[in-house]
């Protein structure tokens, strides 16, 4: 399938779902008869989106198929996993520990294996950044886990 | 006006603002030079840092970053044929062959002088055009604003390139849809929050910009790693920059090109949606056409004119794109869209009232453009051999840094870990859409303008007693909407007309 068609199909599914959810927007009784309600713009956008997506699906401009040759999806998946993990740990472990784990993990995923390089590129940057935020810009960032502070 | 200029000079010349222009130019050059990262990412990365600043200082920093990023993009175009920004693609046509011929230093100098001249000349135009347009736009009503925003969105889609019109329109609609998430401002009704309290205030603009630009660009760089050959080429270009001096003849050859391309670039930049990319290609094409048969043949092989024209035009267009932002509050490009988002977060509403309510912001930004151009020339040019070393930073170190700064930039604004997870979802979606060649800038522009469009449309309907007739009854609104429709249909009709003409010519030839 051409890349335009794949894209159009993905967007079409999104637009249909968006349109469905737009029918669930709660309106108060006095708002129902107004010319412009909270549903008006979403429903107009749904119709416009579906029409255009169908048009692209029927008449794709770019006939080339999706080209994923030589692409490293495993790394992307691991990096995304790391980011999600960071989201869960930045509060729980505190900024300093969570960020160092994230950066060192990131270097490792990207192919770096030298521990000294990884620590050297992570520790000073994280500590320096934390000092900049807390001391220079006066933004409080919890450095350690709650049970240590 | 003179009073305004003076107040702008006073604000821009404050030590903190001078420092910000310098930091902005330097950081912008640094980030813009990284392949894949453009001015949108550069500015997005700066926004969290500027939250504590006053609006003038924040905008001055971002203007510096904008110029710097374009200049940085030129450097990577010339040295490694990898434009960090779409606006500098045309620069690589002649800049890279010049660098390959051992004249990388000269190519960088031509790019720097052309950027400086283009930016400075355009800033003079901006000084005249912006206040004039701001005065005129004071008479604009909600209906006109709505029409102008429609024009902005259709223009972005229309200029998206051959065969990309429908894709750009789809992405615009996607952006408009994302802008409807959260509590409806007028009726207080939650929309598309899926029962999540974290979405009740809508999606943060910074989050969307960071996820779809900075994060997804970094992830795209991981998806498409460079070959060892390319890496070797990069190192060679950085080592052998050569002389940066230009001869008298070379300067003479550049001067008229710079003049023409500055004017062209500025006016193209003013058009909503056109921006630096269109300006640079147009300038390149025009110079090639008027160069004559001998000089014209040098285009693509290291022509001075071919390098100077797009470099001048893209910087002039960058200044030009501030005109609709500062005077109408309507961003003309993805980059100015991100600046609009930043201004709104400072509590400053760009538009005709900006000229009256916050003259210090209005004028200091314009004045800082001159300062920024001078700094780019005197600070960045001598430092280029050193800054260029950033190109040698291994991706293994660079990518995790970009991911970290993007995530933390958004997290430090809200301190809500939900934002980090939402960013990952948006970044993955953006990577998929990028792989399918769907443009991101129209989506961002749609997101920024969505809320304002809905608000203005609603207001226009209230004023006209719920009648949609305002679209054709008010001449100004009708004219702007007519232009929007025309712009939208030009890319569709032009190839069809071409086909019809060819058929007619063939028939005439057969008949003859």
Task: Supply angle C-alpha A50, A54, A59, rounded to 5.
Answer: 150
A77 in B contact zone (CB under 8 Å)? no
Nearest C-alpha neighbor of B125 from the set B263, B274, B324, B318: B263
How many angstroms separate the CA atoms of B461 and B473, rounded? 13
Task: Tell if the CB–CB gap between B173 and A83 is shorter than 8 Å.
Answer: no
Best residue in A19, A55, A58, A87 for a mutation probing chain B (most B CBs within 10 Å)? A87
Task: Test A133 with B420 for CB contact under 8 angstroms.
Answer: no
Separation CA B281–CA B313 (nearest Å):
9
DSSP B222-279: HHSPPPHHHHHHHHHHHH--------HHHHHHHHHHHHHHHHHHHHHHHSTTTHHHHH
Cα B372 to Cα A109, B31, B47, B123, B315, distances in angstroms: 39, 16, 18, 11, 12
Check pLDDT > 80 for residue B269. Answer: yes
pLDDT score, position A137: 66
Q: A45 to chain B nearest CA, in Å?
A: 6
- At which residue do the structure tokens 């009073």 appear? B3
The pLDDT of residue B274 is 59
Q: pLDDT at position B1, please?
A: 67
CA distances, B162 to each of A44, B167, B445 (Å): 27, 11, 20
Contacts of residue B254, defined as CB under 8 A and 6 or more positions apart, other chains included, come to B110, B113, B114, B246, B304, B305, B308
CA gyration radius, chain B: 23
Between A27-41, B253-267, B465-479, B486-500, the lowest mean confidence (pLDDT) is in B486-500
* pTM reported for the whole predicted model: 0.78
Mean pLDDT of chain A: 89
> Which one of B142, B177, B435, B437 makes the best mutation probe of the A interface by having the most chain A beta carbons within 10 Å?
B177
Of A56, A103, A133, the CB nearest to B404: A103
Q: Model confidence at A87, in pLDDT bands (50, 70, 90)?
A: very high
User: Which stretches does DSSP call E strand in B408-482?
Assistant: none
Radius of gyration of chain A (CA): 24
Which pLDDT score, from 0 to 100, does residue B35 have? Answer: 61
Measured between beta carbons, the chain B residues lying within 8 angstroms of A79 are: 219, 222, 399-400, 403
Nearest to B189 among A10, A26, A71 (CB): A26
Chain B contact set for A139 (CB, 8 A): 412
Q: Evaluate if residue B374 carries a pLDDT over 80.
A: yes
- Give whichever of A120-129, B57-66, B162-171, B323-332 has the largest mean pLDDT: A120-129
pLDDT of residue B159: 65
Question: Is residue A59 scored above 60 in pLDDT?
Answer: yes
Test B170 with A52 for CB contact under 8 angstroms.
Answer: yes
CA distance linking residue B313 with residue B117, whole number of Å: 10
Pairing assessment for the beta strands B182-183 and B190-191 based on DSSP bridges = antiparallel
Of A73 and A72, the one with more pLDDT: A73
Residue of A nearest to B187 (CA): A38
What is the DSSP code (8-state) at residue A66?
A: P
Residue A65 has phi, psi (to 5 degrees) of -75, 170
Q: Which residues contact B109 (CB under 8 A, 6 or more apart)?
A: B244, B245, B246, B381
Q: Which of residues 460-479 of B touch A (CB under 8 A)?
A: 461, 466
Whether A21 contacts chain B with CB within 8 A: yes
Highest mean pLDDT among A126-140, B222-236, B388-402: A126-140
What single-letter DSSP state applies at residue A39? Answer: T
Instruction: Using pLDDT thresholds of 50, 70 and 90, give the confidence band for residue A53.
Output: very high
- Asked if residue A86 has pLDDT above 90, the reply is yes
Give the mean pLDDT of chain B. 81
Q: Average pLDDT, stretch B346-362?
A: 77
Which tokens is B342 given?
């930043």
What is the spatial distance between Cα B473 and Cα B477, in angstroms, rounded to a whole number?
8
Residue of B nearest to A125 (CA): B401
> Residue B374 in contact with residue B365, Cβ under 8 Å?
no
pLDDT band at B330 (very low <50, low <70, confident <90, very high): confident
CA B348, CA B354: separation in Å to the nearest integer?
A: 8
Q: Is B342 helix (H, G, I), strand (E, B) or coil?
A: helix
B486 interface with A at CB cutoff 8 Å = no
Residue B233 has what pLDDT? 62
The span from the CA of B341 to the CA of B347, in Å, is: 10
Please give the pLDDT value at position B270: 81
Structure tokens that stand for B135 in this block:
């005065």
From chain B, pick out residues whose CB is under 8 angstroms from the CB of A99: 404, 408
The predicted structure's pLDDT at residue A116: 93
| Tens-digit pLDDT profile for residues B30-46 | 877 776 567 777 887 77
CA dist., res. A82 & res. B426, Å (int): 15
Q: Are B143 and B474 in contact (CB under 8 A)?
A: yes
- Angle at which helix B334-346 crosses helix B441-463, to 10 degrees, equals 60
Q: Does B425 touch chain A (CB under 8 A)?
A: no
Q: DSSP string spanning B155-188?
A: HHHHTT-TT-HHHHHHHHHHHHHHHT-EE-TTT-
- What pLDDT sits at residue A93? 92
The 10s digit of each residue's pLDDT in B292-309 is 777 878 888 888 999 999
Judged by CB atoms closer than 8 Å, whether chains meet at A22 and B192 is answered as yes
* CB–CB contact B163 A75 (8 Å): no
């Amino acid at each position: 399938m051409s890349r335009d068609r794949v894209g159009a199909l993905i967007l079409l599914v999104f637009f249909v779902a968006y349109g469905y959810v737009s029918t669930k927007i709660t309106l108060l009784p006095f708002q129902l008869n107004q010319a412009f309600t909270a549903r008006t713009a979403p429903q107009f956008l749904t119709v416009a989106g579906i029409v255009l997506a169908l048009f692209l699906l029927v008449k794709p401009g770019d006939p080339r198929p999706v080209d994923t040759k030589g692409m490293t999806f495993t790394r992307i998946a691991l990096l995304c996993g790391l980011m999600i993990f960071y989201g869960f740990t930045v509060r729980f472990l505190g900024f300093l520990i969570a960020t160092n784990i994230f950066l060192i993990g990131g270097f490792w995923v990207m192919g770096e294996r030298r521990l000294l390089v990884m620590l050297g590129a992570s520790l000073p940057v994280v500590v320096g950044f934390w000092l900049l935020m807390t001391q220079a810009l006066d933004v409080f960032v919890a450095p350690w886990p709650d049970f240590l502070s | 006006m003179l009073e305004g200029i003076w107040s702008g000079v006073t604000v821009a010349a404050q030590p903190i603002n001078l420092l910000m222009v310098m930091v902005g130019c330097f950081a912008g050059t640094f980030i813009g030079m990284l392949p894949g990262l453009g001015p949108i990412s550069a500015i997005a990365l700066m926004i969290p840092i500027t939250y504590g600043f006053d609006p003038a200082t924040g905008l001055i920093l971002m203007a510096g970053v904008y110029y710097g990023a374009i200049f940085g993009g030129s450097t990577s175009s010339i040295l490694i044929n990898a434009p960090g920004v779409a606006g500098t693609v045309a620069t690589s046509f002649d800049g890279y062959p010049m660098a390959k011929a051992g004249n990388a230093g000269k190519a960088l100098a031509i790019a720097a002088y052309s950027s400086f001249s283009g930016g400075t000349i355009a800033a003079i135009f901006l000084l005249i055009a912006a206040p004039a347009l701001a005065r005129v736009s004071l008479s604009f009503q909600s209906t006109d604003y709505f029409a102008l925003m429609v024009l902005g969105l259709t223009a972005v889609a229309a200029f998206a390139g051959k065969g990309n019109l429908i894709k750009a329109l789809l992405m615009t609609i996607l952006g408009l849809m994302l802008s409807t998430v959260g509590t409806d401002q007028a009726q207080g009704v939650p929309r598309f929050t899926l029962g999540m309290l974290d979405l009740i205030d809508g999606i943060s603009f910074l989050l969307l910009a960071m996820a779809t630009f900075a994060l997804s660009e970094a992830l795209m760089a991981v998806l498409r790693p460079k070959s060892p050959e390319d890496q070797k080429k990069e190192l060679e270009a950085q080592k052998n920059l050569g002389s940066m001096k230009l001869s008298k003849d070379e300067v003479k050859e550049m001067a008229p090109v710079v003049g023409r391309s500055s004017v062209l670039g500025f006016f193209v930049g003013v058009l909503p949606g056109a921006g630096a990319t269109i300006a640079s290609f147009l300038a390149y094409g025009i110079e090639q056409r008027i160069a004559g048969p001998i000089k014209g043949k040098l285009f693509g092989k290291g022509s001075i004119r071919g390098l100077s024209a797009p470099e001048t035009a893209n910087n002039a267009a960058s200044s030009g794109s501030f005109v609709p932002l500062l005077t109408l509050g309507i961003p003309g490009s993805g980059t100015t869209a991100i600046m609009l988002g930043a201004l709104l977060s400072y509590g400053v509403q760009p538009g005709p009232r900006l000229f009256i309510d916050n003259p210090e912001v209005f004028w200091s930004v314009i004045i800082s453009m001159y300062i920024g151009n001078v700094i780019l020339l005197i600070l960045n040019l001598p430092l280029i051999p050193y800054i260029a070393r950033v190109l040698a930073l291994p991706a293994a170190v660079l990518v995790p840094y970009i991911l970290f700064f993007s995530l933390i930039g958004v997290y430090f604004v809200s301190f809500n870990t939900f934002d980090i997870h939402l960013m990952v979802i948006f970044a993955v979606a953006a990577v998929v859409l990028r792989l399918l060649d769907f443009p991101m800038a129209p989506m961002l522009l749609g997101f920024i303008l969505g809320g304002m469009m809905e608000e203005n449309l609603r207001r226009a309907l209230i004023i006209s007693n719920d009648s949609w007739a305002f679209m054709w009854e008010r001449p100004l609104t009708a004219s702007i909407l007519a232009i929007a429709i025309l712009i939208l249909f030009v890319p569709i009709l032009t190839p069809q007309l071409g086909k019809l003409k060819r058929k007619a010519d063939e028939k005439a030839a057969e008949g003859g």
